[in-house]
Amino acid sequence: MDHRIVNPWTWQDARMFVQGREVTGEGRVLYCAGIVSVDDNGQPLHEGDVRAQAMQAFDNLETLLGAAGYTLADVVRLNTYVTDIDDYFANARPAVHERLAAAGTRFTATLLGVSRLALPQFLIEIEATAAA
């Protein structure tokens, strides 16, 4: 499977995402449902702490990816839903970017502010697509 980054501009590089990522050839694709901050039994964790919820959501995403034979580096699309964009930027985004940079992933991205998620305790939900 071949991957090609398509960036007709450079401004997005500072925001750590790409405009397009083409995947061609034979390979596998995993479409992940929304991932939130829950324990192994589905109980919400880290109420009121967007950074801790983001890190737990990424822990859960990496568990799912690993179970399917992927890594965080294979993520080609990442949608992030947050209930407070300012809180996310101030408290979670730096840790999220550090984690993604350490994994070496180059992904397309969308960040959306929403009025609430499936449970009122959730402050962030991530949705990923991985290709290998």
pLDDT band of 5, cuts 50, 70, 90: confident
Q: Is 13 domain-assigned? A: no
- Which residues lie below 8 Å from residue 77, measured CB to CB, with a gap of 6+? 21, 107, 108, 109, 128, 129
Q: Is 100 domain-assigned? A: yes
Q: Is 4 domain-assigned? A: no
- pLDDT, mean over the chain: 93
- Show the domain range for 85: 28-131
Q: Is 108 domain-assigned? A: yes
Q: Is 9 domain-assigned? A: no
* Percent of the chain at pLDDT exceeding 90: 75
Query: Measured at the alpha carbon of residue 33, what is the angle toward residues 56 and 94, in degrees to the nearest 5?
Result: 40
- The CATH number of residue 67's host domain is 3.30.1330.40
Specify the number of domains making up the chain.
Answer: 1
Q: Is 8 domain-assigned? A: no
pLDDT digit string (tens) for 30-72? 999 899 999 999 999 999 999 999 999 999 999 999 999 999 9
Q: What is the pLDDT of residue 94?
A: 96
